[in-house]
Structure 1
């Protein structure tokens, strides 16, 4: 029985190593939960970096960087993407109950572009590709000095172009192809005032027929910093 378990585990490792390149992996959702003008929010996580800034009340500007690496029998790949966006945020007044409790709602939209570079081993012909993505991201959140929680619902439009070689059937996107995904995300933060540890889960649900390899679940751990958020 034990040897059979080891055999199944070895088979799973082999299959994981032989899979095709990953042509999409949902990045961390930028969920700053801004509440006033002059606030700046940073979050740094492995392969993700994000910033948000409110120049005037109710207006938020966001910027994202994300990347990942993947390898298998086909070779290896390196992907990266930059995004910018803007949106509206509001605050539900809770001052009559507590000056330390904030309910926040917001909606952001944005656009980004990136590149997926694939280095193939002999006998494999997976193409490089340019990825552009537009997104709309409503969210609601709860913020205190110690704990924060946010739920966001991101809808994305993915477009692939500039493939370096003809697409691999069922293994890569087609040149000029477009896809839609719906990506709910839950963000939890714990710390004190300006600095908090963050845990975020993102799940990508395809709204289009996607036959190539992608990742639909990501778990991100990082550090979040909010400047001018606690006076």
Structure 2
């Protein structure tokens, strides 16, 4: 029986870590879209492989912090592909009387990727710096939230540390050109939230589309499922 496309997205997001056994060097994290309505509002998100926090420090300025982790281990544990990253950002937000929200955040972070093969006979490690800009528009009420964000991400890697890989393997996996130029992505993503007041279930569905021509093994899915907690006064009105 064929599954519906939406169900495939959900199954991809729940219980499946983002990295796969194709020597993934970049996997997009969940997008932090707070959709603030007032000064002093704060949101914390616990989602698959992601921990996010944001707070509105004034009537129109917000700050955020993101942490994420991805991992893949083969059944025989001979192949491992792990990565993690941390980000911080600042932006502006606003909304109207109908709770149509708009925001734009920018930030910077770092990421670390490790690959170990053939029981550590082959090793790869790379560190990178990530820059992102994420405008978003959405609608908010005490029971439901929906938003769309076309995040732009740019990642610049340093020269990787390698051992055990032949020159041909380094070329086949694009390891030898990883640090030559930045890698840019546009990541259009839909964010859905449902619940009541201070806690909602959140799901994200999107794609990571590479804008630059330099080759890179990357995950082209943006997906997560989790809970978002909202500390605010407006929904008590």
TM range (shorter): 0.7 to 0.9
SS at match of 1:127: strand
Distance 1:190 1:124 in 2: 47
Q: Is contact 2:116-2:122 (8 Å) kept? A: no
Q: Where does residue 208 of structure 1 map in the other structure?
A: 212
1:143–1:149 CA contact under 8 A, matched in 2: yes
Per the TM alignment, residue 170 of structure 1 is displaced from its structure 2 partner at its CA by 3.4
Q: Which residue of 1 aligns with 2:115?
A: 118
Inter-partner Cα distance in structure 1 for 2:206 and 2:214: 18
In the alignment of these two chains, the number of paired residues is: 208
2:137 aligns with 140
Root mean square deviation of aligned Cα: 2.2
How far 1:210 sits from its partner (Å)? 4.7
Partner of 2:81: 77
Runs of 4+ with >6 A deviation: none
Q: Which residue of structure 2 lines up, in the alignment, with residue 63 of structure 1?
A: 65
Retained in 2: the 8 A contact 1:21–1:71? no
Moved more, 80-89 or 68-77: 68-77
What runs of 5+ residues in structure 2 fail to find an aligned partner?
Answer: 1-19
Distance 2:55 2:224 in 1: 22
Q: Aligned partners of 1:224 and 1:122: how far apart in 2?
A: 39
**1:190-205 equivalent positions in 2, closer than 5 A:** 190-205=194-209
Structure 1 gaps, min length 5:
1-17, 95-101
Specify the SS of the correspondent of 1:148.
strand
Q: Is 1:129 matched with 2:133? A: no
Contact 1:22 1:70 in 2 (8 A): no
Equivalent in the alignment of 1:13: none
CA distance in 2, matches of 1:62, 1:50: 7
Larger Cα Rg: Structure 1 or Structure 2?
1
Per the TM alignment, residue 122 of structure 1 is displaced from its structure 2 partner at its CA by 5.8
Kept in 2, the 8 Å contact 1:126–1:171? The answer is no
In the TM superposition, residue 77 of structure 1 has moved relative to its aligned partner by 1.9
- 1:89 corresponds, among 90, 93, 117, to 93
In 1: Cα distance, 2:120 partner to 2:88 partner? 38
- Give the TM-score normalised by the residue count of structure 2: 0.81
Of 156, 161, 185, 1:181 maps to 185
